[in-house]
Amino acid sequence: MTCAEIFERMEEKFKEVKLPDINGVFQFNVPGEDGGQWHAVCQGRSCRVSSGRYSRPDVTVTVNAENAVRLAEGRLNPALALLTRKVRVRGDLALAARIQRLLAGRI
């Protein structure tokens, strides 16, 4: 699985997982080879995922491509990834925690 495949599937996964009302914009920065930038705009119970940078996201997640894939496949614990700085999160941490619990290991 590649990062591009993860983000292509993410919007569908948002639909499959019964999302509670989530309002916010998530920016995902994946530096390096096989990386890129994507953002998810969530309003109510739906999220729209697009490639590129969002100008003023509520949450910014930075993770390298290898760890992004490991997170999506459930092979990397999100809490451990944060503690070991394999994933960096800026912005509204409570909002980030809500989305992480829903998607970790489900892509």
pLDDT tens track for 44-60: 878 899 999 999 999 99
- What DSSP designation does 15 have? H
CA dihedral 76, 79, 81, 83 (to 10 degrees): -150
| Residue 47 token pair | 């999220």
Residue holding tokens 């999100």? 78
Strands of 24-30's sheet, edge to edge?
46-51, 36-43, 24-30, 59-63, 87-91
pLDDT band of 97, cuts 50, 70, 90: confident
Residues 6+ apart with CB under 8 A from 56: 25
Amino acid at 81: A
- The chain-wide mean pLDDT, for the chain, equals 88
25 and 39 in contact (C-beta within 8 Å)?
A: yes
Q: Look up the pTM and report it.
A: 0.89
Supply the pLDDT for residue 19.
67
Question: Comparing C-alpha atoms, which of 105, 60, 51 is closest to residue 79?
Answer: 105
For 67-89, how does the pLDDT look when each residue is reduced to its tens digit (9 = 90+)? 999 988 889 988 899 999 999 99
* pLDDT of 21: 78
Higher-confidence position of 101 and 6: 6
In this prediction, residues 2-23 reach a mean pLDDT of: 82
Six token digits for residue 7: 């983000």
pLDDT at residue 13 above 70? yes
- pLDDT at site 106: 56
